[in-house]
Amino acid sequence: MAKLYFRYGAMNSGKSTNMLQAAFNYEERGQQVLLTKPQIDTKGDTAIVSRLGVTRPVDFLITPQDDLWDLFTQKRAQFEAKTGKPLNCLLVDEAQFLTEAQIDDLLRIAIGTRRRVGRRIVPGAAVVGSVVPARMRNPSMTRFPATRMATTGPLSMNSTSGS
C-alpha cells in the first residue's frame, strides 16, 4: 500500500527549500526525480525558487485543465525513454493550487490505480486536514514527507504557499 504525506506549514517556513534539498538527496543516491508545480504559481516562472536563492527548473507545469494522471504517465514515459532509467520520485510544489480532480489523480498515482478513489477529494489546501489520516500527516519541519508510489518510489507535494 502506498503512503501519502503532505508537507505543509506557514509561508516562509522552508517547504520549497526542503523539497529542493530532497530532490538533491534523491539524485545524490542515484535516484531519478521529476519536479512540477501548478502553472498558476508564477513565482519563479517555470522554476521552483526558495528564499535562500536555490532555484531549479520544473520538468513540467500543471494547468488547471490537465488530467494529471495522463500528464504524469506521459512525462514519466518520456523521461524513462530519454534516460533509460526508471523514475523514482515525483515532487510537486504548491499543491494547494491543484484542482480537486488533480489531487484525486495524485492519490491514484500514489496507490498505482487508474480508477477513481472511492471518496470525494476536496480542493488542494483543505486536503491535509480532511483527507489524509492523522497518522500520515507530517507537520514537522525537520523531515520532508513523501508518498511511495506502487512501482516507482516517492511522490511528494508541498501544500502551502511560501518557500
Residue positions annotated with a catalytic role: 94
Rg (CA), the chain: 14
Residues 91, 34: contact at Cβ < 8 Å? yes
Q: How far apart are CA 137 and CA 127, in angstroms?
A: 11
Cβ neighbors of 69 (< 8 A, separation 6 or more) are 105, 108, 109, 114
State phi, psi for 53 to the nearest 5 degrees: 95, 0
- Residue type for 32, please? Q
Return the SS3 of 82: helix
